[in-house]
Amino acid sequence: MAQGLTKKSEDFSQWYNEIVRRAELADYAPVRGCMVIRPYGYALWENIQATLDRRFKETGHQNAYFPLFIPHSFIQKEAQHVEGFSPQLAVVTHGGGEELEEPLVVRPTSETIIGHFFAKWISSYRDLPLLVNQWCNVVRWEMRPRLFLRTSEFLWQEGHTAHASLEEAEAEARLILDIYAEFAEKEAAIPVIQGRKSESEKFPGALVSYTIEGMMGDRRALQMGTSHNLGQNFARAFGIQYLDRDNQLKYCWTTSWGVSTRLIGAILMVHGDDQGLILPPRLAPIQVVVVPIYKSAEERTQVLEVCRRVQEALGGRVRLKVDDRDEYTAGWKFNEWELRGVPLRIEIGPRDVAAGQVVLARRDVPGREGKWAVPLSGLVEEVEKALEDIQRDLLRRAREFRDAHTHHPQDWEGFREAVEDGFAFAPWCGDAGCEAEIQAETKATNRCLPLDQPQLPAGAKCVRCGRPARETALFARAY
Amino acid sequence: MAQGLTKKSEDFSQWYNEIVRRAELADYAPVRGCMVIRPYGYALWENIQATLDRRFKETGHQNAYFPLFIPHSFIQKEAQHVEGFSPQLAVVTHGGGEELEEPLVVRPTSETIIGHFFAKWISSYRDLPLLVNQWCNVVRWEMRPRLFLRTSEFLWQEGHTAHASLEEAEAEARLILDIYAEFAEKEAAIPVIQGRKSESEKFPGALVSYTIEGMMGDRRALQMGTSHNLGQNFARAFGIQYLDRDNQLKYCWTTSWGVSTRLIGAILMVHGDDQGLILPPRLAPIQVVVVPIYKSAEERTQVLEVCRRVQEALGGRVRLKVDDRDEYTAGWKFNEWELRGVPLRIEIGPRDVAAGQVVLARRDVPGREGKWAVPLSGLVEEVEKALEDIQRDLLRRAREFRDAHTHHPQDWEGFREAVEDGFAFAPWCGDAGCEAEIQAETKATNRCLPLDQPQLPAGAKCVRCGRPARETALFARAY
């Protein structure tokens, strides 16, 4: 176990706070609720960005950049939107040494300002669909901050699209949800439930909100991304209209969708262990760390020479770092890179040099079981295979963990036990009051109405109130 | 000439304003001084980012992200810094529905907040050099906005580094200046003068500021990037100290450096003409546009089939768009893509199909001279060569234009004429008062003290006051 690190199994919350800072991913800023993302954390974000950005572009989206400052009056144009975001706004009242005529809101999300521009840019059916995305910072004032999970400022991408029909907007919202789910599973190695948010949990101003929900290491749920079909709500509020083929002026149908630096929190909470982080190879800033082991100067020369050869062979293929610092012992380095979650370690000592081999050690398989010797001649293939194995096994373990803590209670007693342990898929009447009672009594919230759910049995009853169930909902305690 | 577009030669300023909006690069926001960067403009920025980011990483810099909000007290810690930036600050006074105890500044630049973190992260000589960069938005309140050139919010990168000695900080500042100059010439096809800023023009809080200065199409200068050796000014203000090998606690030496979306303005102003933009191939979002020419449905089928083959052959090698919209004529498309600055056009008509060829047209060479037929079999090589030729010729033309408007006056009369026309390299006494008089009388400012300058002749006199000259300065009217 990394020295002085709280055990994940003993105090998950404390473990998380420590690991984010000890691994130099992020730290709190002097302004309450804000954070600095340090180079190691930001490199993880860059890898997340690159893979998502590629998927967005492949599906026809273009990046743009919209203004940080939104006139306060814009936020008020959509009734649910202003109600949802008003308590979280940061407000600029002075600029250039003078008090502003109208206060400016620092964007909490950009539906309003983008709606304003869409109304200017769209005039004909030929301008549709309009598919844009921006990578930016947003601000939502946060009283109980948590690094990556809840901060007053965070980084995200927000996609905004306009379409000629409800069906197209719906298809777009679902396409993006699929992209998010695919990213979560293939890149972040986190299995997710895709679902629709209930009326009380949906985005302020949306017609339908979709979500991907993952189970963290403490068995709580985390909303990892959302995709909203906004109907015509923002189109009407901002006058986004187009002249259709039939020469009629019509309102567009819009969507918005986003994932944020919160994803980093998810990756840490799903895969980490008592030793620290375990980063999925596809996203890890450093995929392979090479640690030389030596005592004498002569051994050092020999070992570092092999390190160099390993770097040459692997450097262009994997993200690799040779830790040749003299001031730390090999053992100290093992702990350090385990804590920082590097998925694969290559150890090279004098005996390995003599035998023409190196030793590989998997971060996700502790002890002797995860270590094996590999001849230098076959190193490239073995390392690439090991990284794939780790990626696959991380997803498998996360799925097994989630499934082991997922329940399908049919009555209130079973439901209470289920949400103590993890996820509860339960028949629900669809009533917001019932949903609120469940939360008040169990602290479990309605995470979503899963898209992929079995038909309810005839006569199924709401797990809380006993009235006829309308569908199955996923309840869990959540971040 | 593009329909209704003001001629560059007749009203440069109006031409610029029109071209930015007609080419859909950017537009003004509802908040005075702010802008939206539209997809075509943002794609140009992404290409600028990618090539600079690669250079930063190759030289050991890591990206990070620092908070948007800076406590007002931080800005006040460095005396020159607060004086320089106070008039331009946007101030957040309310957050989460309440008035804040201390107002927050929206970052105009991040030396102060980064200084705060560097002081926490650096403890030993082993932590040096610390080389970080961030890509982000900054806000400097602007009363006379101009798209890309002067906006209240803009995008940029800001590098911040800490070193163990003045020499290392100086070497870093110069390394970055070289990277900026190389980027300007090789990627943006803009020749630049590298120089040191005079005392009155340097960055608030810097020991030395370096700059790259380019000549725009109206013969005015534009500061395209700056790199500052900050000495120990910010290290002392924020307590950035390290324990040296000799066990002494010492202050670090820091640098900062940045380029912004202003670079987009430079590219437009240097290369554009009466027809619109001309984008350098290395940065152009679309390098090649394919325009089919047809009348009958049969011709359309044949021509589009060849378009598809061209796309297949070139798609993976160049950034290519096939404009197969039926609702516009080929002539309209020619104008449109000329206006938007696509460097190379491929025309394919029925006669070309029959002859097994296509016609290439260079955006930078008007009329018949820039058009030639190429057999399909040799298309890939010809297109790649044409793009290289365009890139090279744009730089050559920009250099010829600049040199034709560059003068070396030795007396006041000659100086006045020189700055009416363009750049004036002139002997200068080094006195700030003299510099101010020059500006008051000619509107020309001291752009820089060029790094690469001939030895002053013995007895050289200041072009303004006649006192002994200390060095050659570049004066010009500037943005």
- pLDDT per position as a tens digit, A268-314: 999 999 999 999 999 999 999 999 999 999 999 999 999 999 999 99
Q: Using CA atoms, how far apart are residues B147 and B35, in angstroms rounded to an integer? A: 7
Question: Hey, are the CB atoms on B117 and A27 less than 8 Å from each other?
Answer: yes
Quote the pLDDT of residue B2. Answer: 57
Burial of B454 (0-12, 13-18, 19+ CB in 10 A): exposed
Token pair 């890509």 is at which residue? B135
CA–CA distance, A406 with A422 (Å, rounded to integer): 6
* A295: in domain: yes
In a domain, B93, yes or no: yes
A447 phi and psi, to 5 degrees? -75, -45
A327 vs B35, B91, B126: nearest CB: B126
pLDDT for res B78: 81
The pLDDT assigned to A3 comes to 67
Contact B95 A91 (CB under 8 A): yes
- Best residue in A36, A37, A110, A142 to probe B by mutation, most B CBs within 10 Å? A36
Per-residue burial over A12-42, b = 16 or more CB atoms within 10 Å of its CB, e = otherwise: beebbebbbebbebbbbbbbbbbbbbbbbbb
Chain A residue nearest residue B126, CA to CA = A327
Tokens, residue B320: 């290519």
Q: Chain B residue with minimal CA distance to A34?
A: B67
Last residue of a domain, one of B222, B241, B271: B271
Question: What residue in A sits closest to B21 (Cα-Cα)?
Answer: A121
Q: How far apart are CA A241 and CA A232, in angstroms?
A: 10
The answer to whether the CB atoms of A113 and B29 lie below 8 A apart is: yes
* CATH number, position B209: 3.30.930.10
Look at residue A1 and tell me whether its pLDDT is greater than 70.
no
* Domain boundary residue, one of A389, A414, A435: A389
* B252 and B131 housed in the same domain: yes
Question: Considering only CB atoms, which chain B residues are within 8 Å of A113?
Answer: 29-30
CA torsion sign, B416 to B420 to B421 to B423? positive
Residue A133 lies in a domain: yes
> What pLDDT is stored for residue B20 in this prediction?
98
Q: List the single residue in B36, B67, B142 with the smallest CB-CB distance to A67.
A: B36
User: Do both A100 and A242 map to the same domain?
Assistant: yes
Cα–Cα distance measured from residue A66 to residue A68, given in angstroms and rounded to the nearest whole number: 7
Interval B249-276: pLDDT, tens? 999 999 999 999 999 999 999 999 999 9
| A428-432, long-range: CB < 8 A, 24+ apart | A428/A462, A428/A463, A428/A464, A428/A469, A428/A470, A428/A471, A428/A472, A428/A473, A429/A462, A429/A464, A429/A465, A429/A467, A429/A468, A429/A469, A429/A470, A430/A198, A430/A470, A430/A471, A431/A462, A431/A465, A431/A467, A432/A198, A432/A199, A432/A200
Interface size A-B, in CB pairs within 8 Å, comes to 162
Tell me whether residue B403 is in a domain. no
For residue B96, give how far its alpha carbon lies from the nearest alpha carbon of chain A (Å). Answer: 5
Confidence of residue B1 (pLDDT cuts 50, 70, 90): very low
pLDDT at A2 over 80: no
At residue A308, the 3 state secondary structure works out as helix
Tell whether B154 and B214 lie within a shared domain. yes
Rounded to a whole number of angstroms, the CA Rg of chain A reads 25
Sign, CA torsion A116/A120/A125/A126: negative
Based on the domain organization, do B90 and B133 belong to the same domain? Answer: yes
Out of B45, B91, B117, name the one closest to residue A93 (CB).
B91
Residue A4: other Cβ atoms inside 10 A: 7
Q: Which two tokens stand for residue B424?
A: 């004036």
Q: Which residues in chain A have their CB less than 8 angstroms from residue B25's CB?
A: none
Helical (H) or strand (E) element with A222: strand A221-229
Single-letter amino acid, residue B185: E
| Separation between Cα atoms, residue B278 and residue A174, nearest integer Å | 39
Residue B129 has pLDDT above 80, yes or no: yes
Whether residue A170 is predicted with pLDDT greater than 90 in this model: the reply is yes
A37 chain-B contacts, CB cut-off 8 A: 64-65
B131-177: per-residue pLDDT in tens?
999 999 999 999 899 999 999 999 999 999 999 999 999 999 999 99
Q: Which residue of A has its CA nearest to B27?
A: A117
Residue with tokens 């780790």: A390
Angle CA(A39)–CA(A40)–CA(A45) in degrees, nearest 5? 90
In a domain, A41, yes or no: yes
For residue B353, the surrounding DSSP H or E stretch is: helix B350-355
Q: Are residues B239 and B134 in the same domain?
A: yes
Percent of chain A with pLDDT over 90: 94
Instruction: Report if residue A277 sits inside a domain.
Output: no
Q: How many CA atoms lie within 13 A of B176 on its CB side?
A: 32
When scoring B69, B101, B151, B238 by the number of chain A Cβ atoms within 10 A, the one with the most, hence best to mutate, is B69
- Specify the pairing of strand B471-476 against strand B423-428: antiparallel
User: Is A95 within 8 Å of B92 when comparing Cβ atoms?
Assistant: no
Which chain B positions have a beta carbon within 8 Å of A73's beta carbon?
A: none
* Chain B residues touching A152 at Cβ < 8 A: 69, 95
Residue B82: per-residue pLDDT: 83
B88 with B129, same domain: the answer is yes
Phi/psi of residue A357, each to 5°? -140, 170
Question: Other CB atoms closer than 10 Å to residue B210's CB: what's the count?
Answer: 29
ipTM of the complex: 0.96
| 3-class DSSP assignment, residue B231 | coil
* A88–B67 CB contact, under 8 Å: no
What is the average pLDDT across A237-260?
98
Distance from CA of B110 to the nearest CA of A (A): 12
Cα A154-A158-A163 angle, rounded to 5 deg: 165
Out of A87, A95, A103, whose CB is closest to B141? Answer: A95
State phi, psi for B375 to the nearest 5 degrees.
Answer: -65, 145
Question: What's the rounded Cα separation, in Å, for the pair B63 and A162?
Answer: 33
In DSSP terms, which residues pair with B242 in a beta bridge? Answer: B250
Residue B161 tokens read as 């580094």
Single-letter residue type at B206: A
- pLDDT tens-digit series, residues A356-368: 999 999 999 999 9
- The strand ranges marked E within A328-422 are 344-348, 357-362, 371-375, 406-407
- Which of B29, B87, B88 lies closest to A67 in CB terms? B29
Query: Given this model, what pLDDT does residue A58 score?
Result: 98
Rounded distance between C-alpha atoms, residue B346 and residue A39, angstroms:
44
Of B184, B181, B134, B130, which is closest to residue B159 (Cα–Cα)? B134
CA dist A225 and A464 (Å) reads 28
Q: What's the confidence (pLDDT) of residue B61?
A: 98
Q: Do B59 and B132 reside in the same domain of the chain?
A: yes
**Nearest beta carbon to residue B39 from set A64, A104, A113:** A64
Among the partner-chain residues A97, A106, A142, the one whose CB lies closest to the CB of B92 is A106
B90 and A67 within 8 Å at the Cβ level: the answer is no
B150: which residues sit within 8 A by CB, 6+ positions away? B142, B144, B479
Element (H, E) at A260: strand A253-260
Shortest CA distance from B69: residue in chain A: A31
Q: How far is A403 from chain B (nearest CA, A)?
A: 36
CATH number at residue A306: 3.40.50.800
Is the CB of A71 less than 8 angstroms away from the CB of B30? yes
Domain total in chain A: 3
Whole-angstrom distance, CA of residue B175 vs CA of residue B173: 6
A31/B69 Cβ within 8 A: yes
Which 8-state DSSP code applies to residue B65? B
Query: Which pair of structure tokens corresponds to residue A81?
Result: 């939107």
φ/ψ of B234, rounded to 5, equals: -80, -30
CATH number at residue A411: 3.30.110.30
- From chain A, the residues in CB contact with B120 under 8 A are 27
- Shared-domain flag, residues B103 and B222: yes
What are A174's two structure tokens? 């679902």
Could you say which DSSP state residue B454 is in? Answer: P
CA separation (Å) from A94 to A98, B67, B108?
5, 19, 14
Contact B228, B257 (CB under 8 A): yes
Nearest chain B residue to A96 by CA distance is: B88
Mean model confidence pLDDT for chain A = 96
Structural tokens at position B284:
């152009």
- Is residue B319 situated within a structural domain? yes
Q: Which two tokens stand for residue B218?
A: 């109206």
**CA-to-CA distance for B94 and A92, rounded, in angstroms?**
7
Q: Which domain holds residue A315?
A: 288-389
List, for residues A110-147, the tens digit of each pLDDT value.
Answer: 999 999 999 999 999 999 999 999 999 999 999 899 99
A73, A97, A112, A67: which is closest to B147 by C-alpha? A67
Query: Which has the closest alpha carbon to A174: A246, A122, A227, A105?
Result: A227
Rounded Cα gap, residues A81 and A58, in angstroms: 31
Same domain, B254 and B214: yes
Q: Chain B: residue nearest A141 by CA? A: B96
Contact A93 B96 (CB under 8 A): no
Contact call for residues A150 and A261 (beta carbons, < 8 A): no
Q: Quick check: is B233 in a domain?
A: yes
Give the minimum alpha-carbon distance from A16 to chain B in angstroms, rounded to a whole number: 20
Cross-chain Cβ contact B93/A96 below 8 Å: no
Both B124 and B239 in a single domain? yes
The reported pLDDT for the residue numbered B83 is 85
Kindly report the average pLDDT of chain B as a whole number.
Answer: 96
Q: State residue B86's pLDDT score.
A: 87
Average pLDDT over residues B457-475: 94
Same domain assignment for residues A304 and A202: no
In whole angstroms, how far apart are CA A362 and each of A237, A281, B76?
54, 11, 50
CA distance A29 to A137: 15
Q: Transcribe A423-476 into DSSP letters.
A: EEEEEE---HHHHHHHHHHHS-EEEEEESS-PPPPTT-B-TTT-SBP-EEEEEE
Structure tokens at A82: 């202003």
DSSP three-state, residue B372:
strand
Are residues B240 and B318 both part of a single domain?
Answer: no
Structure token digits, residue B332 = 């309209």
